[in-house]
């Protein structure tokens, strides 16, 4: 707003001065606000420019290929981990079935089984049972006996009626027994 415009309206000099002072205050407040915003934008532009300079010479396709390779490695590790868990579960199940069947040496029994075929089977439990039974019929020495007494656990006794075994030996040799 210009002073001349207000004078043409027929306003007094005091009123014109007050209006001009108030108008100047409004303009200065708006001007300082705009200068602050301008300075902030300049700062942001300088920061963005400096950040972009750090990416100069970076091959985006190379970074993308590295990311893809790392994702593939992660997927392979996950698959390997899942396979190890599946193998552990299968081996635990196999050892349990061998133990229930009375197997004496599970490693020897596993060596006789076609484990890859059994792992790939859709009905592992039934196939494991049949493979163990087949192994048991062909290699019964690898499994415990079904006889009631497998091994003697106490002396069976002899003809000395619980006496001194040395006396029996002396008597057999024709010597007198010691008392």
Average pLDDT over residues 74-88: 95
pLDDT tens, position by position, 34-79: 999 999 999 999 999 999 888 888 888 899 999 999 999 999 999 9
Q: Which of 9-13, 41-45, 132-136 has the lowest mean pLDDT?
A: 9-13
Closest CA to 67 of 56, 75, 78: 75
Which residue from 137, 130, 132, 140 is spatially nearest to 100, judged by alpha carbons?
Answer: 132
| Domain locations in the chain as residue ranges | 3-54, 83-142
């Amino acid at each position: 707003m210009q002073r001349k415009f207000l004078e043409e309206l027929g306003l007094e000099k005091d009123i014109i001065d007050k209006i001009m002072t108030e108008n100047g205050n409004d303009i200065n407040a708006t001007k300082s606000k705009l200068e602050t915003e301008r300075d902030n934008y300049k700062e942001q532009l300088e920061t963005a420019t400096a950040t972009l300079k750090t990416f100069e010479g970076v091959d985006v396709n190379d970074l993308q290929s590295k990311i893809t390779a790392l994702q593939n490695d992660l997927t392979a590790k996950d698959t390997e981990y899942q396979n190890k868990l599946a193998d552990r579960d299968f081996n635990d199940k196999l050892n349990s079935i061998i133990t229930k069947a009375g197997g004496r040496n599970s490693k020897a029994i596993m060596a006789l089984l076609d484990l890859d075929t059994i792992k790939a089977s859709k009905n592992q439990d039934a196939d494991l049972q049949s493979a163990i039974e087949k192994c048991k019929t062909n290699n019964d020495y690898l499994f415990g006996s079904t006889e009631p007494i497998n091994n003697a656990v106490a002396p069976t006794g002899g003809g000395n009626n619980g006496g001194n075994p040395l006396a029996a030996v002396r008597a057999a040799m024709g010597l007198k027994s010691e008392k």
